[in-house]
Amino acid sequence: MDGTLLDAHGQLPADFPELQKLAAEHHCELVPASGRQLATLNDMFPHIDTFIAENGSVVMRGGEIIATFPIAEETVRAARAAANSITEPHTTVLCTPETAFVSDDVSGTARAELSKYYKAVTWVPELSSVPDSDIIKIAIFCESGSEAHVYEPIRQAVPDDNVAVSGKVWLDVMARGVDKGAALTKLAELAEVPIAATAAFGDYLNDLEMLQAAGTAVAMENAHPQLKEVADIIAPANTDNGVSVVLRKLLSS
């Protein structure tokens, strides 16, 4: 989404409805895949009913949730403890399929950032009051940089689970084996579409497994270097409507 489909102002490209129509004419389906929660994606795309949400932790097809992947409670406890030990200012978000739990004393900057990705938020006086069960993603916002300040302590705390740097200021923890690539593979199976016939667009490290799984991997010009290494195609930057440019070429080939 950010850095891939959305423009510099966080808006969908003006020609997105046209892209949907073009894809349908070619018997293809456009599926938003994001770290955003399902409630946010439903709000952004009211005419779409298939999503990969929460970095693959929640999958919807045909308007029905077909899969959720909770994190083991011991992993949640370890990740929360590691997050509490980080001295750099940060905000922890505990995600269930229905809502995101956040402490109500977060900064104004954090609130503004959260509002972009989480439509359904439950504000709590103490995050410690939220149970470790039914958590499908732990997200950590660090304004000074998630890769530099958050990744290593969390990675060390939960080495067997999926820890993804999902943006310059975001890091996400999912259960082992849960990522956008696994979700894409599952959707392709259900739709009886060969994975080789799929294409995926991405710009950051939480898109890596999805690009590796897809038949055609498209990294944006503004993508993290690791994505460009696995890409079949480098698209123009999101600010140059790169998804539309490449998608039109793919659909016409």
In order, the DSSP letters of 152-190 are HHHHHHSTTSEEEEEETTEEEEE-TT-SHHHHHHHHHHH
Average pLDDT estimate for 111-118: 93
Beta-sheet pairing, 170-174 with 199-202: unpaired
Non-local CB neighbours of 112 within 8 Å, separated by 6+ positions:
none
Report the side by side order of strands in the sheet with 91-95.
121-124, 100-103, 91-95, 137-141, 170-174, 162-167
pLDDT digits (tens, 9 = 90+) for 132-186: 999 999 999 999 999 999 999 999 999 999 999 988 999 999 999 999 999 999 9
Report the percentage of the chain scoring pLDDT > 70: 100
**What pLDDT was estimated at residue 25?**
94
The span from the CA of 72 to the CA of 227, in Å, is: 29
Closest CA to 206 of 158, 157, 140, 149: 140
Cβ–Cβ under 8 Å, residues 175 and 78 = no
Cα distance between residue 60 and residue 31, in whole Å = 10
> Could you tell me if 156 and 173 are in contact, meaning their C-beta atoms sit under 8 angstroms apart?
no
Measured distance CA(63)–CA(86) in Å, rounded: 39
Per-residue pLDDT tens for 3-15? 999 999 889 999 9
| pTM for this predicted structure | 0.87
